[in-house]
Amino acid sequence: MKLCPPGLRQIARLGLLPALSLALLSAPALALADTYPSKPIRLVVPFPAGGGTDIIARAIGQQLTESRQWTVVVDNKPGAGGNLGVDAVAKAAPDGYTVVLGQTSNLAINPALYAKLPYDPLKDLKPVVLAASAPLVIVVPNSSRYKSLAEVLAAARQTPGALVFGTPGNGTVAHLAMEQLQKTAQIRLQHVPYKGSAQALTDLMGGQMDLYVSSIPTAISHLKGGRMKALAVTSDKRSPQLPQVPTVAESGVKGFEANTWFGFMAPAATPAPALATLNTAINQALQTPAVRSRLMGEGGEVLGGTQAEFAALLKTDLQRWGRIVREADARID
């Protein structure tokens, strides 16, 4: 005599319904973990090709292709301070096949800077993994009479508002880092925002401003060529690319730190197994000599870590940079 499989009522009486439900719910996730990725992954870079974010994305994408045989397609989607690219990913299908390499500006600063941001970094996106961070460097023309940041601070206290500093643009990390410096050091400087670094560096070397705040890769050739001098880096420790240059904290502004970090994000509803697979693969890619050499050569510090660590940093920096934006009254409509 064959026994029929127990019905749901019998399963419930036997206390097996929760286990059955868990098994049914877990089946799609397990299937995804076994097959993901089964098609190309689109890696959105919200800035033009050739910049720091693009270099990091391509280095990691190439390593994933070589080590895991994944197909990673880098898609440069610049515009609106990185907002267009991030928004495209926030609204993409949450299937694990679209990710963005965001950074401090478009994930932690722009929510406070823009009056109408089309995405919420905490609600519309999910952290995958931090990739790297990079300090800024405060530079002066080679003809400047200032030999250290301490001398600049002393001069600024004597003549408030007389010294002029330039940045790549209003609301950039460079601009807000200098706003933070002014508040912490209790000085007042005059800000001149540019549209990028090319004209700004020309004006700096021509003596039309006193200071400029730059990424290390942008400034390093001019520093090595003797056209500019570096006064301080904004990280909490010295940069391996500029080991002779002190930090802002070492220059008398205790506790100061302002870096740009870069991290991978995915649409908020992306399945957890896909996020976990991406996290593991990118962490492993970051530890390869090729990727480490590429990122460190651009003035970056290789990071990595867990999704939770990235999520915690994002929440902290949203509050921190939001406060600085409000205090500086820096808004973009």
Position 51 confidence tier, pLDDT thresholds 50, 70, 90: confident
Within 10 angstroms of residue 6's Cβ, the number of other Cβ atoms is: 12
Q: How far, in Å, CA of 331 to CA of 322, rounded?
A: 11
Over residues 214-225, the mean pLDDT reads: 89
Q: What is the pLDDT of residues 296-311, one digit of tens each?
A: 988 889 999 999 999 9
Q: How far, in Å, CA of 209 to CA of 191, rounded?
A: 10
Handedness of CA 122, 179, 48, 53 (dihedral sign): negative
What is the dotted CATH code of the domain comprising 40-133+260-328?
Answer: 3.40.190.150
How many CA atoms lie within 13 Å of 95's alpha carbon, on the beta-carbon side?
11
Q: What is the pLDDT of residues 123-142, one digit of tens each?
A: 999 999 999 999 999 999 99
Domains of the chain, by residue range, sit at 40-133+260-328, 135-233
pTM of the entire structure?
0.83
Position 212 confidence tier, pLDDT thresholds 50, 70, 90: very high
**How many residues can be counted in the chain?**
333
Over residues 94-113, the mean pLDDT reads: 96
pLDDT of residue 307: 98
User: In terms of DSSP H, where are the helices of 93-187?
Assistant: 104, 110-113, 149-158, 173-185
Over residues 88-97, the mean pLDDT reads: 98
Neighbour-count burial for 37-47, b at 16+ CB within 10 Å, e otherwise: beeebbbbbbb
Position 6 confidence tier, pLDDT thresholds 50, 70, 90: very low
Q: Which CATH architecture has domain 135-233?
A: 3-Layer(aba) Sandwich (3.40)
Q: Is the pLDDT of residue 24 over 60?
A: no
Identical fold between 40-133+260-328 and 135-233: yes
